[in-house]
């Protein structure tokens, strides 16, 4: 029985992780649940799964959550500091970090410091501080199991191949809802249109990132650190059917691909159960229902967010941290309907130019870069949109 802490249990990945736990109750036990502000769902989850402790991010909701859960023998805490402390509890075997954005960095580092293995669904942790996080994991003997479908695919392709050097990896992208559109068409894109992903059911932030292809850029940076690669070893190809989740090419020229229906429960379960593959009754892929697989190069001119991300990856230092912070601000402004779809790229590009470059950042440098990038991005919004 593996005891699991789920950070971000009320989000898309968190709720699907609990579906896996529900279906595989002989293998997993929930030790900790956390969320930002959705106290009603957190309470519902806690009453079902009976964790040792929960953390609500919003301190104003502490008492209302405590009133219901404390009599059930469930410890209740609130705030960012409590989140960093709770992941270090004895009895936790694995921490699933499914928080959205930069907020996942410190809890992940705290869990690694306590020697907890990580199932990583928060790609921004490695985007912002990949060198620091991977070094900490090596120093503590902690394994990081990828949850993103693309990185899980690479991880699965490498099973049994750890001694064979990677020549190249190829991350696949669906192309999102706007594949094939030009910049003039993208300028008129609405929030509702951008939130309709053709293949995947995800949270709002990652869905917008997928529509702009920023998500693929963030995944490339994450893959660099997860698999110890150089930028020129990472390729990206658009595969609209989303059946091949990613590929590895080895130095003899052979290539492995991991395939399956687009369902996040599979990579979640693989990360939680590794090295075992647990039986499921989920739908199976059938070649008869998929007459063809197609592939095309991503359009870096139209979808400039991807180009910005790849440039930040090549530059290194604090550039990915600046990119991530500016993107988080830009996505939220787009979701709030204060800027247009293409203006997200303009905001990110401006911030990358405006924030000072730090070639070898430590954690305090990254925290300062994140704060400065958010300030610069917000100040860029035209007054009439504020």
Q: What are the 10-residue block averages of pLDDT along the chain, 386 residues in total?
A: 97 96 98 96 98 97 97 96 96 94 92 98 94 97 97 97 96 93 93 82 85 96 97 97 97 97 96 97 94 95 97 98 97 94 96 97 96 95 56
Taking the CB of residue 162, how many other CB atoms lie within 10 A of it?
6
CA distance 214 to 205: 11
Could you give the 3-state DSSP secondary structure of residue 31?
A: strand
pLDDT of residue 385: 55
Give the CA distances from residue 360 to residues 125, 173, 278, 344, in Å, rounded to whole numbers and listed in that order: 17, 31, 42, 27
Please, how many CA atoms are within 13 Å of residue 195, restricted to the half-sphere of its CB?
12
Q: By C-alpha distance, which of 310, 211, 290 is closest to 243? A: 290
Taking the CB of residue 300, how many other CB atoms lie within 10 A of it?
16
CA distance 94 to 145: 10
Structure tokens at 351: 């911030």
Q: Return the ∠ at Cα 247 (arms to 142 and 277), rounded to 5°.
A: 55
Q: By C-alpha distance, which of 261, 278, 280 is closest to 270? A: 278
Residue range(s) in the chain whose domain bears CATH number 3.40.50.720: 2-146
Residue range(s) in the chain whose domain bears CATH number 1.10.1740.10: 316-386
Could you give the 3-state DSSP secondary structure of residue 27?
A: coil
pLDDT of residue 300: 95
Residue 117: φ, ψ to 5°:
-70, 150
pLDDT of residue 247: 98
CA distance 66 to 53: 11
Give the CA distances from residue 352 to residues 89, 301, 319, 366, in Å, rounded to whole numbers and listed in that order: 38, 18, 7, 14
| Eight-class DSSP state of 78 | E
pLDDT of residue 39: 97
Q: Which helix (H) or strand (E) holds 44?
A: helix 39-49
CA distance 303 to 310: 12
Cis peptide before 275 (omega within 30 of 0): yes
pLDDT of residue 196: 84
Q: pLDDT per residue over 356-377, tens digit each?
A: 999 999 999 999 999 999 999 9
Do 213 and 220 meet the contact criterion of CB atoms below 8 Å apart? no
Residue 35: φ, ψ to 5°:
-155, 170
| Whether domain 316-386 has CATH 1.10.1740.10 | yes
Could you give the 3-state DSSP secondary structure of residue 301?
A: coil
CA distance 336 to 137: 37
CA distance 330 to 340: 9
Strands 144-146 and 234-238: unpaired
Question: Domain 2-146 adopts which CATH fold?
Answer: Rossmann fold (3.40.50)
Place of tokens 């059946």: 243
């Amino acid at each position: 029985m593996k005891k699991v802490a789920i950070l971000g249990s009320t989000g898309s990945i968190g709720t699907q992780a609990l579906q896996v736990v529900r279906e595989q109750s002989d293998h997993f036990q929930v030790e900790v649940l956390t969320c930002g502000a959705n106290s009603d769902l957190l309470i519902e989850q806690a009453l079902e799964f009976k964790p040792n402790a929960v953390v609500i991010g919003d301190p104003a909701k502490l008492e209302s959550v405590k009133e219901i859960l404390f009599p059930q023998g469930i410890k209740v805490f609130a705030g960012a500091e409590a989140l960093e402390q709770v992941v270090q509890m004895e009895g936790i075997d694995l921490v699933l970090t499914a928080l959205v954005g930069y907020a996942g960095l410190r809890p992940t580092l705290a869990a690694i410091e306590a020697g907890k293995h990580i199932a990583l669904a928060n790609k921004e942790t490695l985007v912002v501080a990949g060198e620091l996080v991977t070094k900490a994991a090596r120093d503590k003997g902690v394994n990081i199991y990828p949850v993103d479908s693309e990185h899980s695919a690479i991880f699965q392709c490498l099973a049994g191949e750890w001694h064979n050097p990677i020549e190249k990896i190829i991350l696949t992208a669906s192309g999102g809802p706007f594949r094939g559109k030009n910049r003039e068409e993208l300028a008129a894109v609405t929030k509702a249109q951008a939130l309709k992903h053709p293949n995947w059911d995800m949270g709002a932030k990652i869905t917008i990132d997928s529509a702009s292809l920023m998500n693929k850029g963030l995944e490339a940076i994450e893959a660099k650190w997860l698999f110890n690669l150089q930028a020129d070893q990472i390729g990206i190809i658009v595969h609209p059917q989303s059946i091949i989740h990613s590929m590895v090419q080895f130095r003899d020229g052979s290539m492995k691909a991991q395939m399956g229906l687009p369902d996040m429960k599979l990579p979640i379960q693989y990360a939680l159960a590794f090295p075992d593959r647990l039986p499921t009754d989920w739908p199976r892929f059938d070649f008869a229902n998929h007459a063809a697989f197609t592939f095309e190069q991503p359009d870096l001119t139209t979808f400039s967010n991807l180009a910005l991300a790849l440039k930040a990856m090549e530059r290194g230092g604090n550039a990915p941290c600046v990119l991530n912070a500016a993107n988080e601000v830009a996505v939220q402004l787009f979701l709030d309907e204060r800027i247009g779809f293409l203006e997200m790229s303009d905001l990110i590009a401006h911030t990358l130019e405006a924030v000072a470059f730090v070639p070898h950042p430590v954690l305090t440098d990254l925290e300062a870069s994140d704060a400065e990038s958010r300030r610069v991005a917000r100040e860029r919004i035209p007054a009439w949109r504020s």
